[in-house]
């Protein structure tokens, strides 16, 4: 069975950025094959990887409401469409959830999605889910046992408190989390003592151990602006080195 990695955190904290760095890490360390799921309705993980998206799961969900080939059941059809919609890259596939269903939801589609995920999951070593602020997609995809939950925070006292709270709402969502970690992102370099203290205090008061502090990075901004893939970032880029060191501690164990 694949290991499931979920990224959570407030909007703009760096979930998608860190998802891209994690895909870079897993593929370079040959911890493959990886299924990367962009679960943000405003899909943008593909941009950081220099990829263009095709059909989204949201679009497929709409399509199976209509006519389908007569020799297929709806769940078979959905599974085939999902397979076709995957963006296949070296070491990883990208799946894009797209828009959630509106009020007129064809709810059987979500059951087919969960069934298809059960079949697909066996093909992968890791499944990584870049979540929107909420984490509803996880249960929709039947991914309820999470091996690693990484909560991303901005480098502020309130941000870090919020991260602690986000890690606590996973129980009501019906998720089982095996391992959690806090990543404080876009930190000033060096990390001011007051911030360091606050991080340590929050970590000891919550069940969210510190997994890493990543610096604010000019390189990430430059690559994002030029549209170059984060997969091409050199290993010596400081934020890449920090991220890989943190991921080694989490995933090499
Ligand atoms: N470590 C970092 N250094 C510099 N900019 C960053 C860093 N992490 C994220 N950003 C920038 O912050 C913005 C929001 O990041 P993003 O990953 O899209 O957040 P989220 O997915 O949580 O909404 C993006 O423009 C991104 O380039
Ligand atoms: Mg995002």
- Ligand 2 centroid to residue 7 C-alpha, Å: 10
- d(C-alpha 250, C-alpha 253), whole Å: 6
Q: Which numbered ligand comes closest to the C-alpha of 237?
A: 1
Cβ–Cβ under 8 Å, residues 119 and 145: no
Q: How would you classify the pairing of strands 126-131 and 3-8? A: parallel
Q: Spell out the residues 6+ positions from residue 133 whose beta carbon is closer than 8 angstroms to its own.
A: 8, 9, 10, 11
| pLDDT tens readout for residues 23-41 | 999 999 999 999 999 999 8
- The pocket around ligand 1, CB under 6 angstroms, is made up of 9, 11-17, 185-186, 214, 216-217, 220-221, 224, 239
| pLDDT tens readout for residues 65-91 | 888 889 999 999 999 999 999 999 999
- d(C-alpha 136, C-alpha 117), whole Å: 15
Q: How confident is the model at residue 123 (pLDDT cuts 50, 70, 90)?
A: very high
> Could you tell me if residue 42 is left (phi over 0), alpha (psi between -120 and 50 degrees) or otherwise beta?
beta
71 CB neighbour count, 10 Å cutoff: 7
Give me the number of domains the chain comprises. 1
Which atom of ligand 1 has the smallest separation from the CA of 215?
1
- d(C-alpha 159, C-alpha 95), whole Å: 29
What is the extent of the structural domain holding 210? 3-251
CATH number for the domain harbouring residue 155: 3.40.50.300
Cβ–Cβ under 8 Å, residues 180 and 164: no
Rg over CA atoms, the chain: 18
């Amino acid at each position: 069975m694949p290991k499931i990695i979920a990224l959570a955190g407030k909007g703009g904290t760096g979930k998608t950025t860190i998802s891209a760095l994690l895909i870079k890490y897993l593929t370079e360390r040959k911890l493959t094959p990886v299924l990367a799921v962009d679960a943000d309705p405003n899909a943008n993980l593909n941009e950081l990887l220099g990829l263009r998206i095709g059909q989204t799961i949201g679009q497929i969900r709409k399509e199976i409401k209509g006519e389908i080939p007569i020799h297929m059941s709806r769940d078979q059809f959905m599974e085939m469409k999902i397979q076709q919609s995957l963006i296949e890259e070296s070491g990883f596939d990208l799946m894009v959830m797209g828009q959630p269903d509106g009020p007129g939801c064809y709810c059987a589609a979500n059951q087919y999605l969960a069934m298809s995920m059960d079949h697909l999951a066996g093909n992968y070593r890791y499944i990584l889910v870049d979540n929107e602020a909420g984490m509803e997609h996880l249960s929709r995809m039947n991914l309820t046992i999470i091996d690693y939950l990484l909560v991303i925070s901005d480098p502020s006292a309130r941000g870090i408190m919020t991260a602690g709270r986000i890690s606590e709402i996973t129980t009501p969502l019906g998720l089982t989390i095996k391992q959690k970690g806090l990543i404080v992102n876009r930190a000033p370099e060096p990390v001011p003592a007051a911030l360091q203290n606050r991080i340590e205090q929050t970590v000891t008061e919550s069940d969210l151990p510190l997994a890493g502090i990543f610096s604010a990075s000019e390189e990430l901004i430059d690559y994002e602006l030029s549209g170059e893939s984060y997969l091409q970032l050199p290993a010596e880029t400081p934020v890449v080195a920090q991220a890989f060191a943190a991921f080694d501690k989490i995933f090499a164990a």
